[in-house]
Amino acid sequence: MTVESTNILVISTIEELQKKLNRNERKGATVGFVPTMGYLHEGHLSLVEHAKEQNDIVVMSIFVNPAQFGPGEDFESYPRDTERDLRLASEAGVDILFIPTVDEMYPTNSGIRILPGKLACELCGASRPGHFDGVLKVVLKLFNIVDPDRSYFGVKDAQQLAIIETFVHDFNLRTAIVRVPIVREDDGLAKSSRNVNLTTVERSEAPVIYKALQIGADMFGNGAHSEEIEQQVSEWIVSNSSGKIDYVKMLAYPGLGPITVNTNEVILACAVQFSSTRLIDNIIMSTKGGSHVSNDDEQ
């Protein structure tokens, strides 16, 4: 199916997208790629903005990838609104919107998997076994289909970003990976498609997550140890919200190993489970001179 509206081409088959983006057809035009699961918000649109600045053609995909959801997770309740996404993507200047079905992406059930290795042992990888296998599966397929010059990923999903950067490097994939800072609501809550599934009370509590991370970042600037910071951040979140801590963790970034004297950047990351919605957030900081590297300095 192909739908042409005024300024956006919507494609749902791999064959058609590959034909459109064939390197011979491109005639040297560069392609920036923004993979998403839809229910678009300003975080996604910030990726598009970066992609537009740096490329001739911007391709966005919208695919709620079942391979990255575990049993009992929110695949079914993940928010979806294709009409709204189409309008927002079009207004943001996306040239091609790829919206495949699950059958189109996964026509066979071969069971072949890509294992993300030790980078997936911490943080979300520890709480969501198999999640990053599913992420790498869809990302590799999408990179092969779109063949982008540059691909745009948010620092919001910092572990995903670290794994994809390493994957691209280790397997000599052709695309460059561009990091895009976290976009937040006015009250500090990181924008997420899942925020809409919070109850009214939970939505009013959720900004506590970023507040707690900021407190942790200040402690880091003042020389506190990571265990002390992790504990304070957890306590702050638990005492000021109904959210349950999945993890609060400080690690070297992007290697996600322990912090050592050679570490240049650290991540303070957390995942908090509300009644039906799990939220993640992070702050990345420089270890040099106690100064913080804000990862949302381009809001």
Interface with ligand AMP (CB under 6 A):
36-37, 43-44, 46-47, 153-154, 156-157, 180, 182-183, 190-193
Q: Whose Cβ is closer to ligand AMP: residue 159's or residue 241's?
A: 159
Residues with Cβ within 8 Å of 7's Cβ and at least 6 positions away in sequence, in order, are: 90, 93, 95
E strands of 183-286, at which residues? 244-252, 265-273, 278-286
Q: How far is the CB of 86 from ligand AMP (least distance, A)?
A: 15
| DSSP state string for 104-130 | HH-----------GGGGSSHHHHHSTT
Q: How far is the CB of 185 from ligand AMP (least distance, A)?
A: 9
Q: Whose Cβ is closer to ligand AMP: residue 156's or residue 278's?
A: 156
Structure token pair of residue 250: 């400080």
List Cα–Cα distances, 217 to 139, 152, 210, 266, in angstroms.
Answer: 32, 26, 10, 10
Q: How far is the CB of 35 from ligand AMP (least distance, A)?
A: 6
Q: Whose Cβ is closer to ligand AMP: residue 4's or residue 53's?
A: 53
Q: How far is the CB of 151 from ligand AMP (least distance, A)?
A: 9
Check if 41 is active-site.
Answer: no
Q: How far is the CB of 180 from ligand AMP (least distance, A)?
A: 5
Structure token pair of residue 44: 């996604």
Where is 166: in which H helix or E strand? helix 158-170
Which of the following is catalytic: 44, 50, 131, 292? 44
Q: Whose Cβ is closer to ligand AMP: residue 124's or residue 259's?
A: 124
Residues with Cβ within 8 Å of 42's Cβ and at least 6 positions away in sequence, in order, are: 183, 191
Mark 198-218 as b/e (b = at least 16 C-beta within 10 Å): beeebbebbbbbbbbbbbbbe
Query: Is the distance from CB of 59 to CB of 148 less than 8 angstroms?
Result: yes
Query: Is the distance from CB of 287 to CB of 263 less than 8 angstroms?
Result: yes
Q: Whose Cβ is closer to ligand AMP: residue 143's or residue 153's?
A: 153
Query: Is the distance from CB of 168 to CB of 199 less than 8 angstroms?
Result: no
Indicate which residues carry an active-site annotation.
44
